Amino acid sequence: MSEQLLVPTEVYLKSGIHIGTKYKTKYMEDFIYKTRPDGLSILNLEKIDQRLKIAAKLLSNYEPEEILIVGRRESAWKPILMFKKITGCQAFIGRYPPGVLTNTNLKNFTEAGIMIVTDPWTDKNAVNDALKVGIPIIGLCDTNNQTNNIDFVLPCNNKGKKSLALIFWILAREYLKLKGRIKNDKEFKYSYEEFIQE
């Protein structure tokens, strides 16, 4: 038996966190468990779980205000805003205007120590900004993503609203535990359902 998963296997499976796309890039090959007869690639659940643990540890090295989460895709908005509410991090949903991290004259100029993008492709403006200022990028990457500018790949279904809700729910809970703000899972007062975009 491998080490304890962050959530039971059936919770992962129900969220569709492991369902990839019909396209797979060479970057994501290591995370793919198999390709179904219908052509969809399936991500390895154990690897997703391991990478979620590492991502939470990485984030715990930063104070909330140093963390910036970016998501252009609407299915990510509610999960990101819930994560922001619970942890106190910074968030940018919708279209990310280039220069938020680099142009001090912008009204919404922001400084950050680390960035999470919900999709390196749709959030490429944010990725380019983070590269310019040299902060690490955690990328939620599906089987069709290129990862060459991402410092830490978190393999997952980065399009499904249930999948994104589960990812940010787990990361919020683990971040609070690692920061000592809650002692255990029971003290985390939010349900996974509260993170799902309507």
CATH of the domain at 28: 3.40.50.10490
In contact, 69 and 94? CB cutoff 8 Å? no
Q: pLDDT tens digit string along 152-177?
A: 999 999 999 999 999 999 999 999 99
Instruction: Evaluate whether residue 1 is within a structural domain.
Output: no
Instruction: Evaluate whether residue 109 is within a structural domain.
Output: yes
Token pair, residue 159, equals 């399009």
Residue 130 has pLDDT above 80, yes or no: yes
Question: Domains in the chain: how many in total?
Answer: 1
Instruction: Evaluate whether residue 68 is within a structural domain.
Output: yes
- In angstroms, the CA 97 to CA 175 distance is 28
Instruction: Evaluate whether residue 106 is within a structural domain.
Output: yes
Confidence of residue 131 (pLDDT cuts 50, 70, 90): very high
Contacts for 178 with CB less than 8 Å, ≥ 6 apart:
56, 57, 59, 60
| Cα–Cα distance list, 2 to 31, 34, 170 (Å) | 17, 20, 19
Residue 194 has pLDDT above 60, yes or no: yes
Residue 20: per-residue pLDDT: 97
Range of the domain at 139: 9-195
Instruction: Evaluate whether residue 134 is within a structural domain.
Output: yes
Instruction: Evaluate whether residue 64 is within a structural domain.
Output: yes
Closest-CA residue to 156 (of 168, 166, 142): 142
Contacts for 173 with CB less than 8 Å, ≥ 6 apart:
182, 185, 188, 190
- Strands of 26-127, DSSP E: 32-35, 41-43, 67-71, 90-93, 114-117
Instruction: Evaluate whether residue 48 is within a structural domain.
Output: yes
Confidence of residue 1 (pLDDT cuts 50, 70, 90): very low
Q: pLDDT tens digit string along 46-62?
A: 999 999 999 999 999 99
